[in-house]
Amino acid sequence: MSISPVAAAAYAKFVQFVEPLTRFDAASVQLVSGTTESVRVVARQTDSVSYEVSYRDGTGKVPGNVHAVGDSGELTGWLDDWRRREQAQLAGRLNGWLAREGNTIGNRLAVQDCFEGSHVGGFASTCETCMGKGKADCGTCKGEGKTECPECNIPLSGSLCLGYHKCLQCHGSGKASYGECKGCFGKGTVQCMTCNLTTPGFVECKACKGKKQVDCKPCDATGWKHRIGNLVCKVEGALAIRAGAEREEPRSTIESLKTITELHALAPLQLQDAALDGNAVRRDFAGAMPVTSLRLRAVRSEFELIAYGEHGDIRDFKNVVGNLLEADVTGLQEALRETSFLPLRPCGPLNEALGNCLRSEVLSQAVTTPPSGQQALVSGPLKNAVSVEFVADVARLARRAVSRSFRAHILLPALIVAVLPTLAFFATMLLGVSRSSRLPIALGVAVVVAVLAELWARLRLRAQFDARQRDAVSRLLKLSRSPWWWRAGMVIGVLLGFIGAHAVLVAAGVEMR
């Protein structure tokens, strides 16, 4: 079969993509046909220029590097004047840029190409809160420098007795059980030690420390507030692509390209026209893009991929890896259906089906990745290879398969773990071991046998797979959480064994000494 060089390059890229991810190689994927057509592509790159004024408020006088004006009206007029100057020079600057750089594909208009520089002006005004003093009356003490004493400035017998407070020993009565209160000498009040009679009933204001004024917050104690206006230039680009392809897939793919450089890499472009459109530079490009349709056959099914450009760039692999591996996934599903829930012997067909899946790198990564990391896996290492849904379904099947295969190796050891501690308990009774030592010995036997049982089951499970797959099986078993269920089951089995043994001894009238 004769195919074009572009189709051959696209096929080679497909094989390079598939081989590292699956167990398939070039011999497993047959190129049925490869046809290339030339699609006319036109693109319009528009770079629009706009001028905007941004304002910011601050404290203090206008900084030295800012053009100072008198008030808000003068600032607006000064910025508008600069806007008109920049606007008057814009056409000449844009034409100059077109002459210098407009013919080079990929060049984009920048701010420095159409703007002289930053124009910053501002004005300052007296702070209306402190009237330019930088200080304001303390809000806590209302400018008095002192506040009421929390100890003695309280109602006492209907009046204020500043500098004194009620005696805590006699509660203000002046009397005690032995006669006159010695704490206040019968007065009912004692001298306040908080205000210490220097300013009876008042203490120094903590907010202003007695100074009566505090720094003015609105102006940061400067007495001034300012507003600064900045005239800035913005350049916004827009790309519109039109493709002459008849089919929807190549047309939408080409028209969704983000940059003119990306398009030029696939379809060599030529500048057709360049002109000014108001405050915008408009450039029109045209070219021809080779679009190749590949029809491939693998695993008794055919599928089509589209490649773009002279080098056969495939933009969308359409979950083709997932389709190629569908037979392995289907085989795993069938093996699960044919394997009992509690198998009593090694699950050969199930292990073989799981091994087929693990031989493909993409499936090995998919099944050993936690659910929380599946989205990142599809967006990163397996980008364009498989979908998130495919990864989730395969991982779920693989966890079920490894759990069921693990049961075949753990079931008999788990039964032994459930029975052996009880037998060890009876043995300690027959051997005359002290009552306080019987249960610890039996529990120790349970722990040792349980650890050995799980280790034996894990080793037996790993032995069913080749060396390259064993680590993946171990990670998969951990994700399935199946060992935890069996550990819980063995604990319950041991407890039931002890309970049953106790019931038998009670029924038989045997006294546990």
What are 433-450's pLDDT values in tens digits?
Answer: 777 777 788 778 778 888
Q: Is residue 459 over pLDDT 50?
A: yes
Q: Is the pLDDT of residue 65 over 60?
A: yes
Structure tokens of 123? Answer: 């004005």
Q: Provide the pLDDT for residue 158.
A: 39
Predicted confidence band of residue 513 (pLDDT cuts 50, 70, 90):
low
Dihedral sign (CA 434, 439, 444, 449):
positive
Q: pLDDT digit string (tens) for 89-146?
A: 999 999 999 999 888 888 999 999 988 878 999 999 999 988 889 998 888 888 888 8
Residue 327, Cβ density class (10 Å: 0-12 exposed, 13-18 middle, ≥19 buried): middle
E-state strands within 74-178: 119-126, 135-137, 146-148, 155-156, 159-160, 164-166, 175-176
pLDDT score, position 159: 42
User: What average pLDDT does the structure give for the chain?
Assistant: 84
CA-to-CA separations, 81 to 65, 87, 234, 245, in angstroms, rounded: 19, 10, 18, 50
Averaged pLDDT, 475-497: 79
Cα(457)–Cα(485) distance, integer angstroms: 14
Q: Does residue 511 register a pLDDT over 60?
A: no
Banded model confidence at residue 75, pLDDT cuts 50, 70, 90: very high
CB 47 within 8 Å of CB 236: yes
pLDDT at 183 over 90: no
Give per-residue pLDDT as tens, 325-377.
Answer: 777 888 888 888 888 887 777 888 888 888 888 877 777 777 778 888 878 87
Following CA atoms 363, 364, 365, 366 in sequence, which dihedral angle do they give, to the nearest 10 degrees? Answer: 40
How many whole angstroms from its chain centre is CA 239?
Answer: 31
Confidence grade of residue 258 (pLDDT, cut at 50, 70, 90):
very high
What digits encode the pLDDT tens for the residues 378-416?
777 677 667 788 788 888 888 888 888 888 888 888 787
Separation CA 122–CA 64 (nearest Å): 10
Asked whether 90 and 49 are in contact (CB, 8 A), the reply is yes
Instruction: Give the pLDDT confidence of 170-179 residue by residue, as tens digits.
Output: 877 778 877 7
